[in-house]
Amino acid sequence: MAQQMALGEFVFGLSSGFPYETLDRKTTGGWVSLDIISSKPRSHQTGQALEELRLNGKAQFADGMAKLDELRAMADARVPYVLVDGIGRVWGRWRIDGVNEGQKRVLDDGTTSLLEWSLDLSEFF
């Protein structure tokens, strides 16, 4: 099955009906600035911070809502998950920091016809 990414058993991609549109990745160098009186701040190395990922996408109707419920259940388990991309590269273990949704065009029965979502992940060590 073709996939963009898999987080544990959860698959992102067209074949699963839940693709992401954008992936934002943040890596820091571990530098902080220490303020010095009457001088420029000094750079200090504190060690590299954990990497962060944000996946953003859109889904439709009850299927999309059910997929977000799956992600929330995974977050509630409070365990890290292995992240693997579509070409088989293992990104390591990641924790779910946030599952966010925005419902647009909500139908009479409470089902949304357009669901905008994002998933926040942090590297786990």
Interval 7-37: pLDDT, tens: 999 999 988 889 999 999 999 988 999 999 9
Say which residue, 38 or 15, is predicted with more confidence. Answer: 38
* Phi/psi of residue 90, nearest 5 degrees: -90, 125
Q: Tell me how far the alpha carbon of residue 63 is from its chain's centroid.
A: 19
Q: What is the mean pLDDT of residues 82-102?
A: 95
What structural domains does the chain harbor?
5-123 (2.40.30.200)
Query: Could you give the angle at the alpha carbon of 82 between the alpha carbons of 10 and 76, nearest 5°?
Result: 60
What pLDDT band is residue 1 in, cutting at 50, 70 and 90? low
Tell me the percentage of the chain whose pLDDT exceeds 90: 67
Whether the predicted pLDDT of 99 surpasses 90: yes
Tell me the pTM: 0.84
Whether the predicted pLDDT of 111 surpasses 90: no
Whether the predicted pLDDT of 70 surpasses 70: yes
Secondary-structure breakdown of the chain: helix, strand, coil percentages, each rounded to the nearest 5: 15, 50, 35
What is the Cα–Cα distance from 86 to 21, expressed in whole angstroms?
Answer: 14
